Chains A and B, each alone.
Chain A
Amino acid sequence: MSQLRTSKSDLARDFGISDDRSLSLFLKTLPGVDQVGAEARAVELGTRSIKKESKAWAIDMAISMVDLTTLEGADTEGKVRSLCNKAHRPDPTDPSVPHVGAVCVYNDMVKIARSHLDSIGANEIPVAAVATAFPSGRASREVKLRDTRDAIEAGASEIDMVIDRGAFLSGHYKSVFDEIVAIKKECGEKAHLKVILETGELVTYDNVRRASYLAMIAGADFIKTSTGKVTPAATPPVVLIMLQAVRDFFDRTGIRIGVKPAGGIRTSKDAIKQLVLVNEIAGPEWLSPAYFRIGASALLNDLLMQRFKMRDGYYASSNYVSIE
């Protein structure tokens, strides 16, 4: 496969994208996705049976990939602090349990999360902020940029932005693209950018593939499925399409983009299925929190309970894991 071996800043030029027309033409050259075939493949991979040591490995890997999330109107400082504690020591009784990938909160909670994590010695855990008028994205660009700047100033080192789905669906791809470029510029070297496609609103897999490429060329470090506020969210076939996109993008550019499914992944079984997809679609190089995250809240406790079960040999009780 011919590789561009390009640098991230040159991507648009290397893909020949200068305006709405060239971007639109490029997206339409991407191969189509057959829905039935894609879903059948996801189902087939869903039948993989992960047992014993590979299951133990997968559970710990999944824990380290969790972006432990609270995104509620009712979030409080106390809630965020206890979430941070959980992120740092998912099981306080067992130090062998890895810490999660990140803590993911609304903008106004970034500062609290950052300072609390630092205070408990969890400096290595990044704080991710949902910015850009999350979850709808319906605000002016100035507001979105300001939102991003605020989050970074408050200590966020990861920005989860939403794309303008309205613009995408009406064919104004360049507007979506330019917004990602602008937010990426705002992130600079200080924050990683995760671009949320909100695949539940894009509906078709063709759109998911196009939006994935659009985001990757515009400078995303991660492409993320969903806000968690829309269903369907991170279904296995959607993740499969996005994993194919990052794989093919890597083949072409040498740049490895991460993938973050978010929304609807609640059980260890769901999470392990995601890891199987990563392993068999993108490849084992993506099996790292650097390139795969799972946006979730309830999932972490289920992973812990599975861990107990594997350790103790009997089914665990939810009374033994903390509710955050």
Chain B
Amino acid sequence: MKESSNPFTYAPAPESRELVSIESSYDLFIDGKFIAPKSKKRFPSINPATEEVLSKISLGGKEDLDLAVKSARRAYEKVWSKLPGKERGKYLYRIARLMQERAREFAVLETLDNGKPIRETRDTDIPLAIQHFFYHAGWADKLEYAGHGSNPRAHGVVGQIIPWNFPLLMLAWKVAPALATGNTVVLKPAETTSLTALLFAQVCLDAGLPAGVINIVTGDGTTGASLIAHKGIDKFAFTGSTEVGKAINRALAATGRPVTLELGGKGANIVFEDAAIDQAVEGIVQGIFFNQGHVCCAGSRLLLQENIHDHFIEKLERRIEKIRVGDPMDKNTDLGAINSKEQLQKIVELTQSGEVEGAKAWQPDCALPSRGFWFRPTIFTNVTGAHRIAREEIFGPVLSVLTFRTPQEAIEKANNTPYGLAAGVWSEKGSRILWASRELKAGVIWANTYNKFDAASPFGGYKESGWGREGGRHGLLPYLTQSQTPRVRSGKGARK
């Protein structure tokens, strides 16, 4: 039945925009103060759902980064490295609590700035970001028990670059462990999504966090490149595309300075014939349409056992017809706006290639708003492993369906990618779940679930999806220098 003939259409249920006040322009947050950029440049940040300009964001230049790094260095040496862990922890607890108090404000701001549905910012992004601070706050005075030696030490000043898909959550993933381990931070938010980071700066001020412990330098790719090139940074962490990640690593490789990379993916979601079908359908939907598919660990390849293909696709299509696409501020919206025009163009280009290469596209018949950047949920069937849509990260609400006949074939196809971030497996058979989980070459395996995140759960990739983990005990390691155990008795050094 078409929506139009359904008497139970949901009336608009918009979240109140009045919860946030957005300034007409924003400065950089350096040394505990909001200061105008030395670059004198600012760029507009728009709401991708309406194309309305929300604010002007400062474009941090080299001079601004110099100030930020100096401020972070000073804060590290004078304050933060001298503070006992338990006191550092208290700051993080304060930040978590202040974020809880302003949770709805963060959610609304994130939705306006990013285009993702308020249901997701309210129920996922913001609560998880808060949990991340809460979790790491407790580590600050327990680092010697983290399994990295009895005297783990901070690197010093950490440079961090985060993506636009989960702006505040990725900030939390980066900032919380860095501060808990005793580092100070220079953070560059993504060009299109700076607003929640700037609100977070205000939270840090309200928490009384010492000046310079965290510095937020907004900007574009040039700002990021200057950050990577900065000699005053001891450790880097980047989340973003594999292409940029490799470029960063190439730039840093010769320096030997440590870098954590959390990059792209082409996650396989494998459904066996004995799966709990309705939950598997739900998991596939969560896997690819959560956050408009702007998820590095998205389950963008559905691997279906051939003998359930038609039945499963029918159920999946029926489920997708229920997805509510539209105004991200509406509490009933499931799929919001694509984050930017550029991203939309990329999705369009890749899906066109799918059709040219012979895959069959299906989309539900849903109306899209006239302004803003939108893309209908899309399924491609008749996809083969050689198609671009089966190999390249689309980073949008586009699912490629492939089939397999045996468990071995499923694993071979799932692993046939340079990526290795996440994979899913659906079966009601315990031994098969454990077998597949072992065989899959990916850092996160969601068995009979998908796209679940938790501050205590390590997250990160195999292969070209990056290295290092974020979250859990393992996520502390990249922010600590390990105290190495004594050398082998004969020592090292050249023998004459």
Pick from A1, A33, A49: contact of B311, CB below 8 A.
Answer: A1
Please tell me if B81 contacts chain A, counting CB pairs below 8 Å: no
Interface hits, B3-58 → A, CB 8 Å: 5-13
**Residue of B8, B11, B322, B449 most packed against chain A (CB within 10 A):** B8
Question: Distance (Å) between the CB of A280 and the closest chain B CB?
Answer: 5
A251 (CB) vs chain B CBs: closest residue: B314
Segment of B59-67, B277-285, B434-442 engaged in the interface with chain A: B277-285
Contact of A54 among B11, B278, B449 (CB under 8 A): B11
Cα separation A48 to B276 with both chains bound (whole Å): 25
B11 touches A50 (CB 8 A): yes
Interface residues of A in 17-65 (CB under 8 A from B): 31-34, 36-38, 40-41, 47-55, 57-58, 61
Q: Do the beta carbons of B1 and A37 come within 8 Å of each other?
A: no
How far is B7's CA from A50's CA once the two chains are assembled, in angstroms?
A: 13
Q: Which residue from B11, B274, B428 sits with its C-beta under 8 Å from A51?
A: B11
Quick check: is A78 within 8 A (CB to CB) of the other chain?
Answer: no
- B279 with A57: CB separation less than 8 A: no
A31 touches B277 (CB 8 A): yes
Q: Is the CB of B448 within 8 A of A37?
A: yes
SS of B interface (majority): loop
User: Which A residue's beta carbon lies closest to that of B3?
Assistant: A284
Q: Are B314 and A279 in contact (CB under 8 A)?
A: no
- B126 CB, nearest partner CB in chain A, Å: 14
Q: Which listed residue (B7, B9, B12, B276) contacts A33, Cβ 8 A?
A: B276
Residues in A neighbouring B331, C-beta threshold 8 A: 47-49
A16 to chain B: which residues have CB within 8 Å?
Answer: none
Known: A31-B275, A32-B428, A284-B1. A37 touches B7 (CB 8 A): no
Query: What's the nearest-Cβ distance from chain A to residue B446, in Å?
Result: 11
Interface pair A34/B8, CB less than 8 Å apart: no
CB distance from A181 to the nearest CB of B (A): 28
B276 interface neighbour in A37, A40, A54, Cβ under 8 Å: A37
Given A37-B448, A47-B119, the answer on whether A279 and B8 have CB atoms closer than 8 Å is: yes
Count of interface residues, chain A, beta-carbon cutoff 8 Å:
30
| A residues near B10, Cβ cutoff 8 Å | 48-51, 54
CA distance A280 to B6 in the complex (A): 11
Q: Does A175 reach chain B (CB closer than 8 Å)? A: no
Q: In the complex, what's the smallest C-beta–C-beta distance from B125 to chain A, in angstroms?
A: 15
Which residues of B are found within 8 Å of A53, using beta-carbon distances? 11
**Cβ of A57 and Cβ of B8 under 8 Å apart?**
yes
Determine whether the beta carbon of B7 is less than 8 Å from that of A57: yes
1/0 contact trace for B444-466 toward A, CB 8 Å?
00001100000000000000000
Please, which residues of chain A bring their CB within 8 A of the CB of B123? 47
Query: Across the interface, which residues of A come within 8 angstroms of B8, CB to CB?
Result: 54, 57-58, 61, 275, 279, 284, 287
Contact B11 A52 (CB under 8 A): yes
Query: Which residues of B lie under 8 Å from residue A49 when comparing CB positions?
Result: 10, 13, 331-332
B1 x A34 contact (CB < 8 A) = no
Does A244 have its Cβ within 8 Å of any Cβ on chain B?
yes
Decide: A280 near B278, CB < 8 A? Known: A32-B428, A34-B448, A47-B119.
no
A55 CB contacts on chain B under 8 angstroms: 11
Known: A279-B6, A284-B1. A31 touches B11 (CB 8 A): no
* Given A1-B311, A280-B322, also A34-B276 (CB < 8 A): yes
Which single member of B1, B277, B322, B449 contacts A36 (CB below 8 Å)? Answer: B449
The answer on a CB contact under 8 Å between B278 and A38 is yes
With a cutoff of 8 Å between Cβ atoms, the chain B residues found around residue A41 in the complex are 279, 282
Q: Is the CB of A33 within 8 A of B278?
A: yes
Q: Does A285 contact B (CB under 8 A)?
A: yes
Residues on B with beta carbons closer than 8 Å to the beta carbon of A50: 10-11, 13
Point out the residues of chain B lying under 8 angstroms from A171, CB to CB: none
Q: How far is the CB of B283 from chain A (nearest CB, A)?
A: 7
Residues of A with C-beta under 8 A to B283: 37
The chain B residue sitting closest to A284, CB to CB, is B6
**Which residues of A are found within 8 Å of B274, using beta-carbon distances?**
31-32
Bound complex: CA A277 to CA B423 (Å) = 29
Distance between Cα atoms of A36 and B446 in the complex (Å): 13
- State the CA gap A34–B123 with chains docked (Å): 22
**Apart from A33-B278, A57-B8: 13 A-B pairs, beta carbons within 8 A:** A1-B311, A34-B276, A34-B279, A34-B428, A36-B449, A37-B278, A37-B282, A47-B331, A49-B332, A53-B11, A54-B8, A283-B1, A284-B5
Nearest 4 A/B pairs, CB to CB: A37-B279, A49-B13, A49-B331, A34-B279
21 A-B residue pairings within 8 Å (CB atoms): A1-B311, A31-B274, A31-B276, A31-B277, A32-B276, A32-B428, A33-B279, A34-B448, A36-B449, A37-B448, A38-B279, A41-B282, A47-B123, A48-B10, A49-B10, A49-B331, A50-B10, A50-B11, A61-B7, A244-B278, A284-B5
Residues on B close to A: CB < 8 A? 1, 5-13, 119, 123, 274-279, 282-283, 311, 314, 322, 331-332, 428, 448-449
